[in-house]
Amino acid sequence: MSEVSGGMVVLAFFVGIIVMLLLITIHELGHLVVAKIAKAYVYEFSIGFGPRIFVFKGKETWVSIRAFPLGGYCSIASDKTDPPSDREDVEVPDERKLDYIARWKKMFFILAGPLMNLSVALLLFTSIFAAIGEKRNDMTYFGSTYTQEGIAAKAIMEKENKNQKIDINYIGQDYVIWGWKMTSGSTTIFDNICSVADQDKCNEKINDLDNQKAVDYKKTVYSFINNLPLAKGKDDVKIQFVYKKVDKYSGVALTGYETGIATNPVEFKAGQSVGIAAPNRLYKTTGEAYGAGWGETFKASISILEALGNVFTGKFSNLVGPVGVAKQTATLLQSADQFFIYVATISANLFILNLIFIPPLDGYRLLENFIEMIIRKELPTKYKVVVNTAGAILFLLLFVIITIKDFII
């Protein structure tokens, strides 16, 4: 078993690296296509960095695969940079150099890369959501996914089976926990089963019994996480659950279905799990699922901004590099939809990351180009070199820190 697990980790590492390489290649492909449309002279389209492993020498543009699969680039003729070492003999007319191309065309050239990443994210999110009709493991949705042998499912199954309402072998997420009570012998340790009338007696309630709308999973699970440790050191600990059956799309309690109270408390041992996990957000129609894909793309895009903001407080935990991506891939390879949603999330992150106004990212290049459009002249070359070099050094330092963190954690 350990050999299989080790093999999976190695496989995931290579898959993760390939995912990053493909997304960056797609990004650079966007630059290439617009550069060609603008009639700029492209020396080389490179997949990876370092020494060449393979090169296809086209009539004008060479396509190469290089040794280190951690990025890529699109080399375009310019007076400000030297041509590749083996292309010095190429005579490029000024009108085909990046320096002389209209600035409005440069704007589309810069935007093309991030927009390719946005397109990949949108395609994956909308296609997957529309195909499976749900978003898996959504903590902002109501209900829970039950472990059928967990104490919560057992309590509900026992109650419902007596009423002959469900198959005893299945508890779905339409059964929503409304509250719970934990006792030790005749002593109540914790109780949040309450109505609006007696809420002053209630501890960190999940939901009022009088309410007909379920709360999200996060509120439910944290009620257990925060309070189950109270059982530590206690004897004869038991838990009683209160639940309601709800409409699986809206979370509203079903009319005519009484609040379920598991009359027989379930035995609980300190450290034991309740047996619930995040639910799946369900969509009624394919159109609704498709629209949710757009929303998820937006959420995934801006999540990178929060992670970058945490860097200023010394928190790097939410940022990962190629190594981190490879390690996280290991937990997703067994589920195709979750794997491709993860790929979509990375692509959405790359879309926003590249639009940040920090050199040498595309966002800064876009800002620089916009300023030059306004002042109708080019910014000093010395200024550009200093600013872009400083930005590149800072990003390289951040990359090194994140990579070290990914190896350690």
Most confident of 12-26, 88-102, 160-174, 331-345: 88-102
What Rg value do the Cα atoms of the chain yield, rounded? 28
Query: Which neighbouring-strand residues pair with 52?
Result: 66
DSSP 127: H
CA distance 104 to 277: 50
Tell me: pLDDT of 197 over 70: no
Q: How far apart are CA 69 and CA 361, in angstroms?
A: 19
Looking at the predicted structure, is the pLDDT value of residue 314 above 90? no
Q: Please answer whether residues 224 and 274 qualify as being in contact, where contact means their C-beta atoms are separated by less than 8 angstroms.
A: yes
Structure-token pair, residue 287: 């159109």
Among 25, 41, 51, residue whose Cα is nearest residue 81 = 41
In 330-380, alpha helices (H) = 336-353, 362-375
Q: Write the DSSP assignment of 225-256 as a string of letters.
A: HHHGGGGTT-SSEEEEEEEEEB-TTT-BBPTT
Determine the Cα–Cα distance for residues 172 and 157; give it in Å rounded to an integer. Answer: 10
pLDDT tens per residue, range 212-269 = 999 999 999 999 999 999 999 999 999 999 999 899 999 999 886 666 776 678 899 8
Average pLDDT over residues 392-407: 79
348: pLDDT strictly greater than 90: yes
SS3 call for 37: helix
Cα(first)–Cα(last) distance of the chain, in Å? 23
Instruction: Write out pLDDT tens, residues 83-109.
Output: 888 888 999 999 999 988 999 999 999
The answer to whether 369 touches 106, Cβ cutoff 8 Å, is yes
For the segment 22-48, the average pLDDT, to the nearest whole number, is: 95
Closest CA to 252 of 143, 135, 140: 143
Q: Could you give the CA distance from residue 97 to residue 386 in angstroms, rounded to a whole number? A: 22
Are 83 and 89 contacting, i.e. CB atoms less than 8 angstroms apart? Answer: no
The number of CA neighbours under 13 Å toward the Cβ of 275 is: 18
Taking only the tens place, the pLDDT of each residue in 254-279 is 886 666 776 678 899 888 999 999 99
Whether this prediction's pTM lies above 0.95 is answered by no
Q: Residue 302, Cα to own-chain centre: how many angstroms?
A: 10
Q: Which tokens go with 302? A: 């801006």
As a whole number, the mean pLDDT across the chain is 86
Asked whether the CA dihedral 85, 89, 90, 95 is positive or negative, the reply is positive
Question: Quick one: average pLDDT of 338-362?
Answer: 91
Q: Give the DSSP letter of residue 149.
A: T
Structure token pair of residue 81: 């940079």
Give the per-residue pLDDT at 6: 60
Tell me: pLDDT of 5 over 70: no
Q: Whole-angstrom Cα distance, residue 113 to residue 397?
A: 23
The DSSP element (H or E) to which 49 belongs, if any, is: strand 42-57
The strand pairing partners of 20, in sequence order, are none
CA distances to 40, 76, 105, 298, 364 from 348, in Å? 28, 26, 24, 8, 18
Amino acid letter, 390: A
Which structure tokens are listed for 68? Answer: 């280190």
Asked if 363 and 115 count as a contact pair (C-beta separation under 8 A), the reply is: no
